[in-house]
Structure 1
Amino acid sequence: MKITNYSKIAEKYDKNQYRANEISFDNDLKEYIENNRQKEYDVLDLSCGTGLYLEKQTNYFNGLDIKWSGLDLSDQMLNKAKEKVKNVELIQADVADMPYESETIDFISNSYAFHHYMDKGAALNEIYRVLKKGGIYKLHNIAIHDMPKWWAYHYFPSAYYEDLKRFWNKDVIYNELTSRGFEVNLEITYRMENIKVIDYIDHVENRDISVLTLIHDEDYEKGLERMRYDIKTNPNKTIVNDFAEMFCLAKKI
């Protein structure tokens, strides 16, 4: 399994505006707080990247006594996060060996990152260890097994096969979590639609989508030229695109 080198894309990561626009108020964190009244809460953004989630949530939950933490393996991504957030403990570490005491975290957010972990089993063991009993692990990711017609796979077929090596399907994730003692609620949302190719060319030229950094340069250039050709011959060119997201809430019992 190949690994995305985020040190190479940290500077351009936030140029993909979708990443910032996609993050909204965390209602699951709000519900946890409402159902578990206590003096202070420890919230960890796992694989926090450039701090997009932390930046928004610290503003949304301003006034509550929350100890915010962010962990990421890339020091370059953390440097970008430090530009965004204050009063947040940012730590460079591997998710499979987290520097936290056992049963100290109330809520873990983990978005668009789980597929990057080389040892996913070890990562889940650590997540279970650091969570308090009753604590929540919130896993959010694309569900690639349910979206074979994603636009990226349409133009870059080798990207799909790279992702098959990286992503666990929903059954594996559910079983791995429940076998460790989590109570799991997993949902897949899906949509199929026509999209305009021109709306996605900037993402490809930026080459900040992780799987596009893993395919061979020849495959990348070939797919990029196909997109450019389609746009040149028909600026309103559309293709059928499907997209699936996994929302998984796992409670430590």
Structure 2
Amino acid sequence: MGREFIHTFEQWADHYDHSVFGGDREYKEVFKNYDLILEEVAKHARGAVLEFGVGTGNLTQKLIDRGLDVVGIEPSGKMREKAQTKLPNLQLVDGDFLDFPLPDHPVDSIVSSFAFHHLTDEEKEQAIEKYSRLLPINGRIVFADTLFDSELEKKKVHRWARANGYAHLLKDLNTEYYPLRSNLYTAFRKKHFVPYFKQLNRFAWLIVAEKN
């Protein structure tokens, strides 16, 4: 999961929940309807779940509340500490989207929230290929993540962030790898997934990709 961003994850761990639940004006639009977004991911997951980028455990809690068996993967030590404090019984290991210990049981769903964009387009394809080998027929990838519907929309968002003086968000937009929806669609189709996209706020989309 974009190990080059580990320093950012470590810095953000202490105030992540404050930001995602609306406390940071600069990221308010990014995480608008955050709780409902996590619910959307959780309700599309099924069976044994592998969650990448657990962060502070907010999505994990919703998966567990639905009775799902979850193994968490998180590269940031500080984020793992936060999640383990909330969920002391969670099986949580060090790993990322591309380099992770294989679970000792079959996996039915792979989920993540606000993390897949830390991979380049090439790395995203590599990750999807790994998941294709791991999941059974009808297995699911269920992500909530930031992406753009078009190059025009991407440019509009950059202008909006610049006009509002959102320096940290603008830095994210310029250094992280927010994909175009068409590119992500192609990446899933190449690895035998049928993807479905639903926009949930200006930045975040639900992505449900089923293997066939």
Give the alignment's TM-score, normalised by structure 1: 0.64
What is the 5 A alignment of 1:18-97? 18=22, 22-24=34-36, 26=39, 29-30=42-43, 33=46, 41-59=47-65, 61=66, 64=67, 66-97=68-99
CA-based RMSD of the aligned residues comes to: 3.0
Residue identity matched to 1:120: K
Kindly, what percent of the aligned residue pairs are identical?
A: 21
* Of 182, 193, 215, the match for 2:193: 182
In structure 2, what is the Cα distance between the partners aligned to 1:173 and 1:103? Answer: 28
Structure index of larger Rg: 1
Residue 10 in structure 1 maps to residue 16 in structure 2: no
Alpha-carbon shift at residue 121 of structure 1 (Å): 2.3
Q: CA deviation at 1:21?
A: 6.4
Once the 2 structures are TM-superposed, how far is the Cα of residue 89 of structure 1 from its aligned partner?
A: 1.0
Alignment equivalent of 1:152, drawn from 143, 161, 172: 161
Task: Tell me how far 1:20 sits from its aligned partner.
Answer: 10
1:125 maps to which of 125, 129, 140: 129
Give 1:15's aligned amino acid. H
How big is each residue's C-alpha offset from its partner over 1:15-44, in whole Å with a ceiling of 9 and x where there is no partner?
2223696124635654565xxxxxxx2112
- The answer on whether the counterparts of 2:197 and 2:205 sit within 8 Å (CA) in structure 1 is yes
Paired residues of 1:143 and 1:244 also in contact (CA < 8 A): yes
Give distance in 2, aligned partners of 1:53 and 1:247.
13
- Measure the CA separation in 2 of the matches of 1:52 and 1:158: 23
Partners of 1:31 and 1:9 in 2: how far apart? 28
User: How far did 1:133 drift?
Assistant: 1.9
Cα distance change of structure 1 residues 26 and 158 upon mapping to structure 2, 3 Å threshold = closer
Deviation at 1:13, TM superposition (A): 1.5
Cα offset, 1:181, TM superposition: 0.7
Quote the residue 1:108 is aligned against: 110
> What is the TM-score when the length of structure 2 is the normalising length?
0.75
Partner-residue secondary structure (3-state), 1:94: coil
Distance 1:42 1:171 in 2: 29
How far is 1:183 from its partner? 1.0
Counterpart in the other structure of 1:142: 146
Deviations along 1:196-250, one digit per CA (max 9) or x if unpaired, are xxxxxxxxxxxxxxxxxxxxxxxxxxxxxxxxxxxxxxxxxxxxxxx24322110
CA distance in 2, matches of 1:101, 1:54: 17
Name stretches of at least 5 consecutive residues in structure 2 with no aligned partner.
23-30
For residue 5 of structure 2, give the secondary structure of its aligned residue in structure 1: coil
- Tell me, in whole angstroms, the C-alpha distance in 2 between the residues paired with 1:27 and 1:188: 11
> Which structure has more strand as a fraction of its residues?
1
- Counterpart of 1:183 in 2: which secondary structure? strand
